[in-house]
Amino acid sequence: MSTESAASIDAERIQQFAAGVRGVVLQSDDAAYDDARAVRNGLIDRRPALIVQCHGTADVVEAVGFARDHGLLVSIRGGAHNVAGNAVNDGGIVIDLSEMRSVHVDPEHRVARVQGGATWGDVDRETQLWGLAAPGGQVSTTGVAGLTLHGGLGSLHRKYGLALDNLRSVEIVTADGQVRTASESVNPELFWAVRGAGSNFGVVTSFEFALHPVGPEIYQAAPIFSLDDAPAVLRKYRDFCATAPDEFGPQAMFWSVPAVDDFPAELHGMPIVLALVVYSGDPDEGEQLLAPVLDWATPILDLSGRSPWALAQSSFDAFFPFGGYYYWKSLLVGEPSDDLLDAVVEAAADRPSPDAIVNFWQLGGEIERVAPDATAFAQRDAKYLLSLDTSWFDPDSTERCIDWTRRTWAAMQERFATDRPYLNFVGFGEEKEALVRASYGANYDRLVAAKMMYDPGNLFRMNNNIPPRG
Ligand SMILES: Cc1cc2nc3c(=O)[nH]c(=O)nc-3n(C[C@H](O)[C@H](O)[C@H](O)COP(=O)(O)OP(=O)(O)OC[C@H]3O[C@@H](n4cnc5c(N)ncnc54)[C@H](O)[C@@H]3O)c2cc1C
């Protein structure tokens, strides 16, 4: 498809377009342009020709039409957390939803209507008023849109499924400019495709989520063990996970003690494993049930305790600031052998930055009770996610950090003969079609057919792209 640069579009035409939207259209000479083009990952420095800060669905329709008529490269901006920077592009148009963040809760029917630019912090804030929550991510600044449309892992996925499993419907503006509802009963094929490959099919202007009773207080076990104890701790973690009820949201996070006041100065920088298990039921019950986690080894520090749900959901925020450097890659794996556990510890010991996390996250539960072809998200049977969340703040470390992540990821793939990624953690998505084929598996051909139906010109391609061909 031909891609025009907005620079070649008549200034008068751009002016007419800007006058027709309720939001703001920014170009490079506007004072707000640089802030508007920045995304969370400081590695991304792109200069779109136009940024449309939409104020509603009608603005989105206008922007999609303008982009299509002028053959512009399109990015959709939700929470701007995507590590590859797909929320922005060079020379094209950004359909920016960051001012569309309203959340409306219907407590009686336990559903929330969430606009396409909202963050998980926005959702938790409103749903917790009613003691309810939707399964989302673990950092409150992450966008609902990107996270949900490609999966959605957090502390509730074993009990209530992926974020996308909790969608009841979406409102989406497709490439032809139509505003469509998609649900099990209306446009069901589009709804199927959106739940796993959403950014390929249009701009989702709102999501309708099922809500569940969570909080307002929860209990979480959070002992911190020395890395020296990690081989034994990981084995206990695996045994614990084998019989863990769905209310447990367990993960083993390999990290270094952050050099901030919340932690004793003598521990700063020490390599550790944090055994984080969130209990989403009654906190008193959680405290009792999770007591054994503290005995996996002798903790060097114990952060376990009760917490308001919304606070627990934002406790990692400070460690992933805007403008930090991020390159995260992941592998979905089955039941872990001793060899796999040892490889995780080896990778953890070799992390290229104290801010890099190797996260070993239990999946299963409600995720695997959904059939692999029930939604576009196919990877239902994985038992764990191994995620190399490489973060750093010194620009001189960039090459080393990216290189380490790529090498470690490739070595793990080879050693454990698996290539299944979680599409929300794919670095820059540089493996392109191989990556999406590995992720969607048997659902891939059906997705291509849906793409041919809803976006035959591939207007929406700044994503893990499904090209509209056979
Ligand atoms: C600090 C941090 C913490 C994270 N924590 C978690 C976690 O706990 N669990 C988890 O599963 N993932 C997590 N992620 C990964 C996260 O899910 C992805 O980065 C996701 O892409 C972020 O979505 P976003 O809306 O913020 O990003 P954006 O960069 O705005 O968008 C991501 C993709 O979705 C598209 N998109 C955005 N909005 C829309 C829309 N309204 N309609 C259609 N397409 C749209 C974009 O074009 C882009 O392709 C985390 C990432 C970071 C950086």
* Domains of the chain, start order: 11-96 (3.30.43.10), 103-214 (3.30.465.10), 217-416 (3.40.462.20)
- Please check the confidence at residue 2 and state whether its pLDDT lies above 50: no
> Residue 21 corresponds to which amino acid?
V
- Counting ligand 1 atoms within 8 A of each CB, the residue from 43, 76, 422 with the most, and so the one to mutate, is 76
- Please check the confidence at residue 333 and state whether its pLDDT lies above 60: yes
Judge contact between 315 and 353, C-beta under 8 A: no
Q: Is residue 412 classed as helix, strand or coil in its secondary structure?
A: helix
- Please check the confidence at residue 5 and state whether its pLDDT lies above 50: yes
Whether ligand 1 lies within 6 angstroms of the CB of 273 is answered as no
H or E stretch at 298: none
Residue 6 is predicted with a pLDDT of 62
Distance 29 CA to ligand 1 centre (A): 28
User: Which residue's C-alpha comes closest to atom 19 of ligand 1?
Assistant: 82
Instruction: Pick the atom of ligand 1 nearest to 204's CA.
Output: 42
Distance 44 CA to ligand 1 centre (A): 15
Whether ligand 1 lies within 6 angstroms of the CB of 427 is answered as no
Reported as a pLDDT band with limits 50, 70 and 90, residue 7 is: low
CA nearest neighbour of 99 among 182, 209, 22, 44: 22
* Tokens matching residue 91: 């020379």
* Tokens matching residue 2: 């031909």
Distance 440 CA to ligand 1 centre (A): 18
Distance 87 CA to ligand 1 centre (A): 9
Residue 137 is predicted with a pLDDT of 97
Residue 354 is predicted with a pLDDT of 97
* Percent of the chain whose predicted confidence (pLDDT) is above 90: 96
Whether ligand 1 lies within 6 angstroms of the CB of 87 is answered as yes
CA nearest neighbour of 221 among 297, 141, 275, 295: 275
Q: What is the DSSP letter of 146?
A: H
pLDDT tens digits along 337-354: 999 999 999 999 999 999
Which is it for the CA torsion 360, 118, 374, 409, positive or negative? Answer: negative
Residue 9 is predicted with a pLDDT of 85
Greatest CA separation for the chain? 69
β-strand 301-302 against 212-213: which pairing, if any?
A: unpaired
Instruction: Pick the atom of ligand 1 nearest to 146's CA.
Output: 23
Compute the distance between CA of residue 40 and CA of residue 322 in angstroms, rounded to an integer. 4
Neighbouring residues of 351: CB distance < 8 A, sequence distance ≥ 6: 254, 256, 271, 357, 358, 390, 404
Neighbouring residues of 67: CB distance < 8 A, sequence distance ≥ 6: 74, 92, 93, 95, 459
pLDDT tens digits along 415-437: 998 899 999 999 999 999 999 99
The per-residue pLDDT of the chain, averaged, comes to: 96
H or E stretch at 283: helix 283-289
pLDDT tens digits along 68-102: 999 999 999 999 999 999 999 999 999 999 999 99
- Please check the confidence at residue 32 and state whether its pLDDT lies above 70: yes
Reported as a pLDDT band with limits 50, 70 and 90, residue 4 is: low
Distance 189 CA to ligand 1 centre (A): 23
* Tokens matching residue 110: 């336990």
Residue 470 is predicted with a pLDDT of 52
- Counting ligand 1 atoms within 8 A of each CB, the residue from 115, 424, 435, 465 with the most, and so the one to mutate, is 424
Reported as a pLDDT band with limits 50, 70 and 90, residue 8 is: confident
Compute the distance between CA of residue 405 and CA of residue 386 in angstroms, rounded to an integer. 12
User: What residue has token string 């009990």?
Assistant: 159
Whether ligand 1 lies within 6 angstroms of the CB of 198 is answered as yes
Distance 152 CA to ligand 1 centre (A): 9
- Please check the confidence at residue 1 and state whether its pLDDT lies above 70: no
Whether ligand 1 lies within 6 angstroms of the CB of 196 is answered as no
Instruction: Pick the atom of ligand 1 nearest to 116's CA.
Output: 41
Whether ligand 1 lies within 6 angstroms of the CB of 37 is answered as no
pLDDT tens digits along 352-405: 999 999 999 999 999 999 999 999 999 999 999 999 999 999 999 999 999 999
State the burial class of residue 291 (Cβ atoms within 10 Å of its Cβ: 0-12, 13-18, 19+). Answer: exposed
Whether ligand 1 lies within 6 angstroms of the CB of 146 is answered as yes
Instruction: Pick the atom of ligand 1 nearest to 202's CA.
Output: 43
Whether ligand 1 lies within 6 angstroms of the CB of 157 is answered as no
pLDDT tens digits along 116-144: 999 999 999 999 999 999 999 999 999 99
* Tokens matching residue 337: 């052998």
CA nearest neighbour of 60 among 215, 203, 165: 203
Instruction: Pick the atom of ligand 1 nearest to 422's CA.
Output: 11
For 245-262, b/e burial (b = at least 16 CB within 10 A) is ebbbbbbbbbbbbeeeee
Compute the distance between CA of residue 182 and CA of residue 207 in angstroms, rounded to an integer. 10
pLDDT tens digits along 171-195: 999 999 999 999 999 999 999 999 9
User: Which residue's C-alpha comes closest to atom 31 of ligand 1?
Assistant: 146
Whether ligand 1 lies within 6 angstroms of the CB of 147 is answered as yes
Q: Report cis status (omega within 30 of 0) of the bond before 216.
A: yes
Q: Give the residue-averaged pLDDT of 36-51.
A: 98
